[in-house]
Structure 1
Amino acid sequence: MTSIKSLLGLDVKVEISGSTVVSGILIDVGLDILVLFNGKKYLYIPMIHLHNIKERELAGFEEKTEQPKVPMPLKSEAENISYRKILTNAKGQFLEVFVTGNRSIHGYITSVLNDYIVFYSPVFKTLFISMQHLKWLTPYMSSLAPYKLSSSELPIVPASLALARSFEEQLKKYEGKLLVFDLGDHPDKAGLVKGINHNIVELINAEGRNIFWKMHHLKTVHIP
């Protein structure tokens, strides 16, 4: 059987979860992550979201993707890449991450736990992001901070939170408090956490109704 690595260095077209299609040069492949360069930036895509990948056929006036002028970031020399290694190497670096809908989040990773990361965004402040729902991440290609914020406005400091190892256990710390899930993409994803049990989150929404969410489908959490 031919490996995906046979496409290394080629212009490829990749379909990932959410019927999203991205294209670029396949730069590297690990057991659970692949790296594309789309002509402007590097995209690190966890394999869990890969639906298919194939060599890109140029049509009409389409041009080949421009080769990268800077080395692939977030990788130590001679090491095989993995999703967890990339997340760990990315800590403290400015990133764009794509998780839900068509919205990306800008900021940096402060902690990498068993199945989630802690991400600081100047817009949403501290977020907990499920690792299984992070569709891709992109390192900033310059030293410019998100929104051109100064270092005093966006200091890179570790989160001073007591963190549980798992996503579910971390959310249990917020029982009785207001949380927003998935950046508030649905009115019923913001509310008071009444309880969490067997991967089910019980929320009380703004109208006082009880809503039950399967945790497996919740992607991000932040405190309003």
Structure 2
Amino acid sequence: MSLLNPMLGSRIKIEISGRFLPIRGTLIDIGTDIIVVNNGTQYLYLPVLHIQKLEPDDSLETIAAAGGDQEQMFDHTDISYRKILMNAKGIFTEVGITGFQSLHGYITSIMNDYFVFFSPVYRTVYVSLQHVKLIIPYAPNRTPYYLSRERFPLQPPGITLARTFDQQMKKLEGELIALDLGESPSKIGLLKSVDNRLVELVGANGQHLYMHGEHVKTIHVP
């Protein structure tokens, strides 16, 4: 990642896979598999896996001075994607999945290749690590939708977790689930089977849908 060192402190423009608008801001720090950008009001943590293009931003668009009204919340010493996730546990966080899908809530558990996210809208969501586009932590006094903290059980009872995303999907066989936050009606249905990473879903009309687990971004039980 030393290739990016000359750009530290500079304004950059980043195109992220699955996002429709480029991200603009100041490059604050570089980790082993993640970079930190400040857009003037927020610190954005971007896994490098999804960076399609990064270049100097020579546009005339004005960006506020780095930092804005939010302090840097995490220690950036030897930062990595997993370390940022660990630091974000229990903190109100926004997790970007696609250009038009974000989760707002709390990371509660981090497993081998996925983490568990509690959202006031979707409740418990299992999120594949490889599909996260950005992580934005909020100030300690903030809560999603300004709801009271009592509305958020940071360790929901009765949930046993598998080590991997595939194994967790397997545990949900026979459940009515929504994949990828239900972005398409075809991704909501009965999880019939998970076999060798191939997922079989039965839709409301009884039609069977098959997809490879590699493409599943999130799972939750409505």
Same fold, TM exceeding 0.5?
Answer: yes
> In structure 2, what residue type is equivalent to 1:187?
P
* Structure 2 unaligned spans of 5+: none
* Structure 1 unaligned spans of 5+: none
> In structure 2, what residue type is equivalent to 1:10?
S
Tell me, yes or no, if the aligned pair for 1:111 and 1:158 is still in contact at 8 Å.
Answer: no
The aligned counterpart of 2:39 is 38
Report the CA distance between 1:214 and its aligned residue. 1.1
Report the CA distance between 1:151 and its aligned residue. 1.7
Structure 1 stretches of 4+ with a deviation exceeding 4 A read none
Report the CA distance between 1:157 and its aligned residue. 3.3
Tell me, yes or no, if the aligned pair for 1:110 and 1:159 is still in contact at 8 Å.
Answer: no
The aligned counterpart of 1:55 is 56
- Worse-matched range after superposition: 163-172 or 62-71: 62-71
Report the CA distance between 1:19 and its aligned residue. 4.7
The aligned counterpart of 2:29 is 28
Mapped partners of 2:181, 2:110: distance in 1: 20
Report the CA distance between 1:159 and its aligned residue. 5.8
| 38 and 150 in structure 1: CA distance in 2 versus 1, 3 angstrom threshold | same
Q: How many residues are treated as equivalent by the alignment?
A: 220
Report the CA distance between 1:101 and its aligned residue. 4.2
Q: Is 1:144 matched with 2:142?
A: yes
Report the CA distance between 1:2 and its aligned residue. 6.8
Aligned 1:58-137 pairs, distance under 5 A:
58-59=59-60, 62-69=61-68, 70-75=70-75, 79-137=77-135
Mapped partners of 1:6, 1:91: distance in 2: 32
Local SS of the residue matching 2:106: strand
Local SS of the residue matching 2:194: strand
Mapped partners of 2:147, 2:63: distance in 1: 34
Tell me, yes or no, if the aligned pair for 1:93 and 1:108 is still in contact at 8 Å.
Answer: yes
TM-score normalised per structure 2: 0.93
What is the Cα-based RMSD across aligned positions, in Å?
A: 1.7
| 178 and 164 in structure 1: CA distance in 2 versus 1, 3 angstrom threshold | same
> In structure 2, what residue type is equivalent to 1:214?
H
Mapped partners of 1:54, 1:105: distance in 2: 27
| 19 and 177 in structure 1: CA distance in 2 versus 1, 3 angstrom threshold | closer
Tell me, yes or no, if the aligned pair for 2:41 and 2:66 is still in contact at 8 Å.
Answer: no
TM-score normalised per structure 1: 0.93
1:58-80: CA deviations, max 9, x gaps?
33xx224422155422226xx21
- Worse-matched range after superposition: 79-88 or 12-21: 12-21
Tell me, yes or no, if the aligned pair for 1:8 and 1:26 is still in contact at 8 Å.
Answer: yes
